[in-house]
């Protein structure tokens, strides 16, 4: 079967034919590509067409598909058994490797997804502070838990509404929304809800509604306001953690959160999530503390082995090479845009993350994003897909460069783009 036939069949058995909405190609006027296999920087669909892949499983494959060292670790882990429901040393090895290299945290609790990590961090922040409300920012994404599927409302500072059916008004009322980049609005929200806000949650590098780069001064301002009003600062580094720097934005900027959530890279492509923090905060979690969290597959030994192998290869030299490759790829995409009818587009990056957007301005706030983003993206996406360049099928998603996007792939890209 080809992708079109498989998608029609899938819609019979799966809502919308997909297990995650962003895979649906909704609004792109074509069907999703069903991937048959992948290797390095390339994927192949069921029709046998190859693509230079910049989705990279939405981030975890920083060494590319089927990295040989990660694959070896997975196979060895499978040979030992793939789920125990008991204590094992493999999660301990990954925990030790992470904590020894992250100067601002003492402990980690593993789980199975970024959403689960944020869900745990929300409950933990509330348990530590005894407060109910949390503050988040318009344009930051923190998974699909009820507390985070919230959009800005109108009226009082931070007032919010649910952005998904199934989220109750009561749940929405405990999440407060402010715009990125405005410290005065954050303080106004604190003053409007005195003694009620448990934590501020932020992607220190917002990368799910475009790439909205924040300044170190702004992040430090949030740190200062949390200290002033007795709230926790929580960094969601599910995307940026171990990608822009081994220690993520927390180490890159020197602004240290009270709690941080991770995912993606720490599992090497296997399902994973994690919450990290100081011992005094983390030991509020059961079984030593009153905040309950559990998971049948938490700390899965295969994911732990894959993650450790993935992270051991992230040397300073690897990050330097990744940065150089990312710069070359973004330069090539911008050359293509200027010579193929997309002159209004600019592809810009932070580390190995990039975003193509129809404006020459670097954006820091979701309200600055052009209204024609989605309609313009269709033309770019279809053009690149036809040429065998695969971006995430959504105008708001960033692209991911891996260490497998080397000079050979760059040459292949140039050939495809100008063919």
133-175: per-residue pLDDT in tens? 999 999 999 999 888 888 755 444 555 667 788 888 888 889 9
For residue 21, the model assigns a pLDDT of 85
**Of the candidate ranges 76-90, 162-176, 345-359, 374-388, the one whose mean pLDDT is the lowest:** 162-176
pLDDT in tens, 17-74: 889 888 888 878 788 999 999 999 999 999 999 999 999 999 999 999 999 999 999 9
Average pLDDT over residues 258-276: 97
Q: Which domains does the chain have, with CATH numbers?
A: 3-66+315-417 (3.90.1150.10), 68-312 (3.40.640.10)
Query: Do 381 and 393 meet the contact criterion of CB atoms below 8 Å apart?
Result: yes
Q: What are phi and psi of 101, to 5 degrees?
A: -115, 0
Among all chains, which residue has been given the structure tokens 């990125």?
Answer: 180
For residue 158, the model assigns a pLDDT of 55
At a CB cut-off of 8 Å and minimum separation 6, what does 180 contact? 137, 138, 139, 140, 206, 212, 214, 364, 365, 366
pLDDT in tens, 177-203: 999 999 999 999 999 999 999 999 999
For residue 132, the model assigns a pLDDT of 97
For residue 152, the model assigns a pLDDT of 59
Average pLDDT over residues 201-206: 97
State how far the alpha carbon of 37 is from the alpha carbons of 112, 271, 303, in Å.
24, 19, 20
Structure tokens of 147? 């507390």
State how far the alpha carbon of 26 is from the alpha carbons of 4, 18, 29, 47, 272, in Å.
14, 11, 7, 21, 27
For residue 65, the model assigns a pLDDT of 98
Q: For a pLDDT cut of 70, what percent of the chain falls above it?
A: 98
**Of the candidate ranges 138-142, 277-281, 323-327, the one whose mean pLDDT is the lowest:** 138-142
For residue 414, the model assigns a pLDDT of 97
Average pLDDT over residues 396-402: 96
- Which residue numbers are catalytic? 141, 236, 264
Is the pLDDT at 311 greater than 70? The verdict is yes
User: Cα 358 to the chain's mean position, in Å?
Assistant: 22
User: Cα 4 to the chain's mean position, in Å?
Assistant: 29
Query: Do 82 and 302 meet the contact criterion of CB atoms below 8 Å apart?
Result: yes
For residue 345, the model assigns a pLDDT of 92
Q: For a pLDDT cut of 90, what percent of the chain falls above it?
A: 84
For residue 162, the model assigns a pLDDT of 72
Q: Please give the order of strands across the beta sheet that includes 175-179.
A: 107-111, 273-277, 259-263, 232-236, 197-202, 133-138, 175-179
Q: Where are the alpha helices (DSSP H) in 47-196?
A: 68-80, 89-99, 114-129, 169-173, 183-192
């Amino acid at each position: 079967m080809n992708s079109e036939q498989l998608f029609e069949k899938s819609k019979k058995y799966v809502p919308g034919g997909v297990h995650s909405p962003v895979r649906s190609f909704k609004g792109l006027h074509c069907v999703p590509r069903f991937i048959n296999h992948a290797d390095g920087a390339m994927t192949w669909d069921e029709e046998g067409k190859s693509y230079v892949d910049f989705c990279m499983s939405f981030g975890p494959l920083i060494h590319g598909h089927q990295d040989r060292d990660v694959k070896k670790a997975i196979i060895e882990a499978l040979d030992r058994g793939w789920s125990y429901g008991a204590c094992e040393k493999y999660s301990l090895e990954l925990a030790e490797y992470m904590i020894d290299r992250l100067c601002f945290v003492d402990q980690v609790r593993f789980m199975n997804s970024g959403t689960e990590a944020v869900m745990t961090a929300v409950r933990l922040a509330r348990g530590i502070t005894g407060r109910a409300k949390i503050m988040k920012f318009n344009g930051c994404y923190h998974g699909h838990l009820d507390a985070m599927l919230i959009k800005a409302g109108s009226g009082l500072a931070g007032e919010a509404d649910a952005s998904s059916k199934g989220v109750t008004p009561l749940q929405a009322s405990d999440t407060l929304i402010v715009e990125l980049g405005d410290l005065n609005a954050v303080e106004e929200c604190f003053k409007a809800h005195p003694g009620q806000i448990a934590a501020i949650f932020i992607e220190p590098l917002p990368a799910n509604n475009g790439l909205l780069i924040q300044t170190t001064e702004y992040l430090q301002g949030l740190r200062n306001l949390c200290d002033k009003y007795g709230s926790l600062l929580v960094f969601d580094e599910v995307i940026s953690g171990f990608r822009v720097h081994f220690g993520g934005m927390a180490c890159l900027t020197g602004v240290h959160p009270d709690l941080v959530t991770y995912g993606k890279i720490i599992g090497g492509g296997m399902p994973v999530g994690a919450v990290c923090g100081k011992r005094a905060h983390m030991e509020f979690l059961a079984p030593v503390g009153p905040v309950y969290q559990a998971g049948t597959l938490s700390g899965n030994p295969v994911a732990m082995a894959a993650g450790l192998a993935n992270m051991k290869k992230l040397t300073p030299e690897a990050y330097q090479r990744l940065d150089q490759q990312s710069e070359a790829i973004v330069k090539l995409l911008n050359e293509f845009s200027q010579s193929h009818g997309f002159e209004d587009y600019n592809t810009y990056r932070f580390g190995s993350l990039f975003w193509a957007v129809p404006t020459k301005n670097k954006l820091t706030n979701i309200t600055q994003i052009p209204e024609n983003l989605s309609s313009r993206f269709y033309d770019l996406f279809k053009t690149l897909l036809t040429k065998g360049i695969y971006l995430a099928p959504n105008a708001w998603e960033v692209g991911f460069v891996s260490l497998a996007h080397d000079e050979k792939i760059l040459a292949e890209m140039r050939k495809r783009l100008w063919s």
